[in-house]
Amino acid sequence: MTSTLRIAVSQEHGNAPVTVLHLKGEIDANTQADLESKAEEVVGTGTQNLLLDLSEVTYMGSAGFRAIHAIAGKLGDEQSATAIRSSHLKLLNPSAEVSKVIKTLGFDSYLDIYEDINQAVKSF
């Protein structure tokens, strides 16, 4: 059995254009590169604001968070990583299990997390 991660892309418009990556499946060391390469692809086509929809992510370990760290760097958030919340990368609807890992790693002090996609899109 191999872990799989499906990624669908949609475009939303609030105060600014927002690209949403809808993730479905598991994010581990086997699928980390899929997420990073898709993010790189959309950033390469001009995306400046990225929302990761985690509502159908059934598992996320440290590989997922390394991917998020790398994506933040691609969006230009790296310089403010230690002190300020990310303004270009946000998360939507993580499961309770994924939320627990987010808090364990302290990523919640850097990344805004939303339960409602409209609120998330408007926040950019």
Out of 15, 109, 118, 119, name the contact with other proteins by CB under 8 A. 109
Compute CA 80 distance to the chain's CA centroid, rounded to the nearest angstrom.
Answer: 17
Out of 8, 9, 16, 105, name the contact with other proteins by CB under 8 A. 105
Q: What's the CA gap between 80 and 97, in Å, rounded? A: 27
Complete DSSP assignment for 85-122: --SSEEEE---HHHHHHHHHHTGGGTS-EES-HHHHHH
Stretch that binds other proteins, among 11-19, 38-46, 47-55, 99-107 (CB under 8 A): 99-107
Residue 37 main-chain phi, psi, to 5 deg: -70, -35
Residue 9 interacting with other proteins (CB under 8 A): no
Q: How far is the CB of 60 from other proteins (least distance, A)?
A: 9
Compute CA 73 distance to the chain's CA centroid, rounded to the nearest angstrom.
Answer: 12
Out of 55, 107, 122, 123, name the contact with other proteins by CB under 8 A. 107
Residue 30 interacting with other proteins (CB under 8 A): yes
Q: What's the CA gap between 24 and 124, in Å, rounded? A: 23
Residue 56 interacting with other proteins (CB under 8 A): no
Out of 24, 55, 69, 112, name the contact with other proteins by CB under 8 A. 69
CA-wise closest residue to 120 among 46, 43, 18: 18
Q: Residues in the site for other proteins, rule: CB under 8 A?
A: 1-3, 26, 28-30, 59, 61-63, 65-66, 69-70, 72, 81-82, 97, 100-101, 103-107, 109-111
